[in-house]
Amino acid sequence: MIQLRTFLAGAATMAAALAAVAVLAGAREPARHARFDEITVGRINIVEPDGTRRIILSNKAQFPGDFTEGRENARPDRRSFAGMLFINEEGTENGGLIQKGGIGADGKVDSGLSLTFDRFRQDQTVQLINTDSASHQMSGLRINDVPVYTVTSIYDLKRFGAEADKLPEAQQRAYWDKLAQAGRLSENRIWLGNTGDKGSTLQLKDAQGRTRLMLLVSAAGKAEIRMLNEQGKVIKSITPDANE
Protein backbone atom coordinates (compact mmCIF):
# COMPACT_ATOMS: atom_id res chain seq x y z
CA MET A 1 0.00 0.00 0.00
CA ILE A 2 2.86 2.34 0.88
CA GLN A 3 4.46 1.66 -2.48
CA LEU A 4 1.15 2.39 -4.27
CA ARG A 5 0.72 5.70 -2.45
CA THR A 6 4.31 6.64 -3.29
CA PHE A 7 3.73 5.78 -6.93
CA LEU A 8 0.50 7.82 -7.08
CA ALA A 9 2.15 10.80 -5.40
CA GLY A 10 5.01 10.69 -7.87
CA ALA A 11 2.60 10.44 -10.81
CA ALA A 12 0.64 13.43 -9.54
CA THR A 13 3.82 15.48 -9.20
CA MET A 14 4.88 14.56 -12.73
CA ALA A 15 1.44 15.46 -14.11
CA ALA A 16 1.55 18.84 -12.37
CA ALA A 17 5.01 19.50 -13.80
CA LEU A 18 3.90 18.58 -17.31
CA ALA A 19 0.85 20.84 -16.98
CA ALA A 20 3.07 23.73 -15.88
CA VAL A 21 5.36 23.19 -18.86
CA ALA A 22 2.37 23.16 -21.19
CA VAL A 23 1.05 26.41 -19.71
CA LEU A 24 4.44 28.09 -20.04
CA ALA A 25 4.84 26.86 -23.61
CA GLY A 26 1.40 28.17 -24.45
CA ALA A 27 2.27 31.54 -22.95
CA ARG A 28 5.32 31.80 -25.19
CA GLU A 29 3.42 30.81 -28.33
CA PRO A 30 2.36 34.06 -30.09
CA ALA A 31 -1.32 34.59 -30.77
CA ARG A 32 -2.10 34.10 -34.46
CA HIS A 33 -5.13 36.38 -34.42
CA ALA A 34 -5.99 39.33 -32.25
CA ARG A 35 -8.55 42.12 -32.28
CA PHE A 36 -8.08 45.60 -30.82
CA ASP A 37 -10.26 48.68 -30.70
CA GLU A 38 -7.20 50.92 -30.53
CA ILE A 39 -3.43 50.55 -30.34
CA THR A 40 -0.80 53.20 -29.59
CA VAL A 41 2.69 52.54 -30.92
CA GLY A 42 5.77 54.36 -32.15
CA ARG A 43 6.43 52.07 -35.10
CA ILE A 44 4.90 49.04 -36.83
CA ASN A 45 6.91 46.70 -39.08
CA ILE A 46 4.81 44.56 -41.44
CA VAL A 47 6.88 41.56 -42.47
CA GLU A 48 6.64 38.41 -44.55
CA PRO A 49 6.90 34.96 -42.86
CA ASP A 50 10.65 34.96 -43.58
CA GLY A 51 11.08 38.32 -41.82
CA THR A 52 11.37 40.49 -44.95
CA ARG A 53 10.01 43.94 -44.14
CA ARG A 54 7.31 45.08 -46.59
CA ILE A 55 5.67 48.14 -44.98
CA ILE A 56 6.92 50.29 -42.11
CA LEU A 57 4.68 52.83 -40.34
CA SER A 58 6.60 55.07 -37.98
CA ASN A 59 6.73 58.24 -35.97
CA LYS A 60 9.61 60.60 -36.74
CA ALA A 61 11.70 59.52 -33.73
CA GLN A 62 11.91 55.94 -35.06
CA PHE A 63 11.63 56.60 -38.77
CA PRO A 64 13.96 54.25 -40.69
CA GLY A 65 16.60 54.94 -43.31
CA ASP A 66 16.23 53.62 -46.86
CA PHE A 67 16.38 49.95 -47.83
CA THR A 68 18.40 48.28 -50.59
CA GLU A 69 18.14 44.52 -51.13
CA GLY A 70 17.36 43.90 -47.46
CA ARG A 71 19.97 46.31 -46.05
CA GLU A 72 18.98 49.46 -44.21
CA ASN A 73 21.07 52.56 -44.95
CA ALA A 74 21.28 55.57 -42.66
CA ARG A 75 19.16 58.57 -43.70
CA PRO A 76 19.37 61.21 -40.95
CA ASP A 77 17.66 63.65 -43.33
CA ARG A 78 14.42 61.70 -42.85
CA ARG A 79 14.26 62.14 -39.09
CA SER A 80 12.00 65.20 -39.36
CA PHE A 81 9.20 63.14 -40.94
CA ALA A 82 6.64 60.58 -39.84
CA GLY A 83 5.01 58.26 -42.34
CA MET A 84 5.15 54.99 -44.20
CA LEU A 85 7.68 53.17 -46.39
CA PHE A 86 6.84 50.60 -49.06
CA ILE A 87 9.42 47.82 -49.54
CA ASN A 88 9.37 45.22 -52.32
CA GLU A 89 9.95 41.45 -52.18
CA GLU A 90 13.75 41.72 -52.34
CA GLY A 91 13.84 44.24 -49.51
CA THR A 92 14.35 47.38 -51.62
CA GLU A 93 12.43 50.59 -51.01
CA ASN A 94 9.54 51.03 -53.41
CA GLY A 95 8.05 54.38 -52.45
CA GLY A 96 6.36 55.84 -49.44
CA LEU A 97 4.35 58.52 -47.71
CA ILE A 98 6.09 61.10 -45.52
CA GLN A 99 4.61 64.11 -43.78
CA LYS A 100 5.46 66.85 -41.32
CA GLY A 101 4.03 70.15 -40.21
CA GLY A 102 4.78 72.64 -37.48
CA ILE A 103 5.95 76.09 -36.51
CA GLY A 104 9.67 76.47 -35.89
CA ALA A 105 11.43 78.40 -33.16
CA ASP A 106 11.54 81.35 -35.57
CA GLY A 107 7.74 81.35 -35.74
CA LYS A 108 7.64 80.24 -39.40
CA VAL A 109 5.53 77.40 -40.78
CA ASP A 110 7.37 74.35 -42.12
CA SER A 111 4.95 71.77 -43.50
CA GLY A 112 4.94 69.16 -46.24
CA LEU A 113 3.58 65.85 -47.50
CA SER A 114 4.88 63.56 -50.25
CA LEU A 115 3.47 60.31 -51.65
CA THR A 116 5.86 58.57 -54.05
CA PHE A 117 6.08 55.40 -56.15
CA ASP A 118 9.53 54.21 -57.24
CA ARG A 119 10.80 52.31 -60.24
CA PHE A 120 12.47 48.97 -59.38
CA ARG A 121 15.86 49.63 -57.71
CA GLN A 122 15.51 53.25 -58.75
CA ASP A 123 13.99 56.57 -57.74
CA GLN A 124 10.44 57.90 -57.87
CA THR A 125 8.41 57.83 -61.08
CA VAL A 126 5.29 59.41 -59.57
CA GLN A 127 5.07 61.98 -56.78
CA LEU A 128 2.08 63.73 -55.23
CA ILE A 129 3.47 66.62 -53.21
CA ASN A 130 2.41 69.53 -51.03
CA THR A 131 4.79 71.97 -49.36
CA ASP A 132 3.93 74.98 -47.24
CA SER A 133 6.26 77.56 -45.77
CA ALA A 134 6.17 81.20 -44.75
CA SER A 135 7.21 82.27 -48.25
CA HIS A 136 5.84 79.62 -50.61
CA GLN A 137 3.07 77.05 -51.01
CA MET A 138 3.11 74.39 -53.74
CA SER A 139 0.83 71.47 -54.55
CA GLY A 140 1.14 69.23 -57.56
CA LEU A 141 1.68 65.95 -59.34
CA ARG A 142 5.03 64.99 -60.90
CA ILE A 143 5.54 62.18 -63.40
CA ASN A 144 9.18 61.37 -64.08
CA ASP A 145 11.09 59.44 -66.73
CA VAL A 146 13.45 57.21 -64.71
CA PRO A 147 16.15 55.06 -66.35
CA VAL A 148 15.98 51.29 -65.81
CA TYR A 149 18.19 50.12 -62.94
CA THR A 150 20.59 48.35 -65.32
CA VAL A 151 21.43 51.77 -66.80
CA THR A 152 21.42 53.72 -63.53
CA SER A 153 20.76 52.09 -60.17
CA ILE A 154 20.35 53.61 -56.72
CA TYR A 155 23.98 52.61 -56.11
CA ASP A 156 24.99 54.68 -59.14
CA LEU A 157 23.03 57.69 -57.87
CA LYS A 158 24.90 57.61 -54.57
CA ARG A 159 28.20 57.29 -56.42
CA PHE A 160 27.31 60.22 -58.70
CA GLY A 161 26.58 62.37 -55.69
CA ALA A 162 29.85 61.46 -54.00
CA GLU A 163 31.84 62.17 -57.18
CA ALA A 164 30.10 65.51 -57.72
CA ASP A 165 30.89 66.60 -54.15
CA LYS A 166 34.61 66.14 -54.87
CA LEU A 167 34.49 68.60 -57.77
CA PRO A 168 34.81 72.39 -57.52
CA GLU A 169 31.39 74.00 -57.39
CA ALA A 170 31.93 75.58 -60.81
CA GLN A 171 32.32 72.11 -62.38
CA GLN A 172 29.45 70.32 -60.69
CA ARG A 173 26.75 71.61 -63.06
CA ALA A 174 28.68 70.36 -66.09
CA TYR A 175 29.14 66.96 -64.41
CA TRP A 176 25.38 66.54 -63.90
CA ASP A 177 24.57 67.87 -67.37
CA LYS A 178 26.86 65.25 -68.92
CA LEU A 179 25.09 62.45 -67.04
CA ALA A 180 21.70 63.83 -68.08
CA GLN A 181 22.68 63.96 -71.73
CA ALA A 182 23.80 60.32 -71.50
CA GLY A 183 20.36 59.32 -70.19
CA ARG A 184 21.73 58.36 -66.78
CA LEU A 185 19.45 60.62 -64.71
CA SER A 186 15.73 60.96 -64.05
CA GLU A 187 13.87 63.75 -65.83
CA ASN A 188 10.53 65.28 -64.97
CA ARG A 189 8.16 64.82 -67.94
CA ILE A 190 4.83 66.09 -66.57
CA TRP A 191 4.00 68.66 -63.90
CA LEU A 192 0.43 69.47 -62.90
CA GLY A 193 -0.02 71.98 -60.12
CA ASN A 194 -0.21 75.54 -58.96
CA THR A 195 2.16 78.40 -59.73
CA GLY A 196 3.84 80.94 -57.49
CA ASP A 197 1.43 83.68 -58.61
CA LYS A 198 -1.67 81.61 -57.69
CA GLY A 199 -2.29 80.30 -61.19
CA SER A 200 -2.50 76.66 -62.32
CA THR A 201 -0.50 74.87 -64.98
CA LEU A 202 0.04 71.64 -66.89
CA GLN A 203 3.55 71.34 -68.31
CA LEU A 204 4.60 68.64 -70.79
CA LYS A 205 8.36 68.19 -71.18
CA ASP A 206 10.77 66.47 -73.54
CA ALA A 207 13.24 63.69 -72.70
CA GLN A 208 15.72 66.27 -71.37
CA GLY A 209 13.14 67.72 -68.98
CA ARG A 210 12.60 70.91 -70.98
CA THR A 211 9.05 72.28 -71.02
CA ARG A 212 7.73 72.23 -74.59
CA LEU A 213 3.99 72.66 -74.08
CA MET A 214 2.33 74.59 -71.26
CA LEU A 215 -1.32 75.11 -70.38
CA LEU A 216 -1.87 78.04 -68.02
CA VAL A 217 -4.74 79.65 -66.17
CA SER A 218 -3.81 82.78 -64.25
CA ALA A 219 -5.21 83.81 -60.88
CA ALA A 220 -7.39 86.29 -62.78
CA GLY A 221 -8.78 83.47 -64.95
CA LYS A 222 -6.86 84.16 -68.17
CA ALA A 223 -6.24 80.96 -70.15
CA GLU A 224 -3.24 80.40 -72.41
CA ILE A 225 -1.47 77.63 -74.34
CA ARG A 226 2.26 78.09 -74.87
CA MET A 227 4.62 76.17 -77.14
CA LEU A 228 8.34 76.49 -76.37
CA ASN A 229 11.57 75.60 -78.15
CA GLU A 230 14.61 73.83 -76.69
CA GLN A 231 15.90 77.07 -75.19
CA GLY A 232 12.65 77.66 -73.32
CA LYS A 233 11.51 80.51 -75.57
CA VAL A 234 7.79 80.75 -76.36
CA ILE A 235 7.46 80.27 -80.12
CA LYS A 236 3.67 80.27 -80.20
CA SER A 237 0.97 81.32 -77.79
CA ILE A 238 -2.76 80.69 -78.06
CA THR A 239 -5.22 82.75 -76.02
CA PRO A 240 -8.97 83.35 -76.27
CA ASP A 241 -8.25 86.82 -77.67
CA ALA A 242 -6.44 85.29 -80.67
CA ASN A 243 -9.69 83.73 -81.88
CA GLU A 244 -11.76 86.90 -81.66
86 strand-pairing partners: 55, 95
108-116 contacts at long range (C-beta below 8 A, 24 or more positions apart): 108/133, 108/134, 109/133, 109/134
Q: Is the pLDDT of residue 244 over 70?
A: no
Tell me the mean pLDDT in the region 192-214. 95
The predicted pLDDT at position 242 comes to: 60
Average of per-residue pLDDT across 21-28: 54
Confidence bin at 164 (pLDDT 50/70/90): very high
* Average pLDDT of the residues of the chain: 88
What are the b/e assignments for 93-131, b being 16+ CB within 10 Å?
A: bbbbbbeeeeeeeeeeeeebbbbbebbebbbbbbbbebe
Task: Average the pLDDT over 185-197 and give the result.
Answer: 94
- Average pLDDT, integer, range 50-69: 94
Check pLDDT > 90 for residue 120. Answer: yes
pTM beyond 0.95, yes or no: no
Q: What is the pLDDT of residues 128-156, one digit of tens each?
A: 999 998 788 999 999 999 999 999 998 89
Q: Does residue 22 have a pLDDT over 60? A: no
Per DSSP bridges, beta strands 82-87 and 93-103 are antiparallel
Any idea which of 23-32, 190-199, 210-219 has the lowest mean pLDDT?
A: 23-32
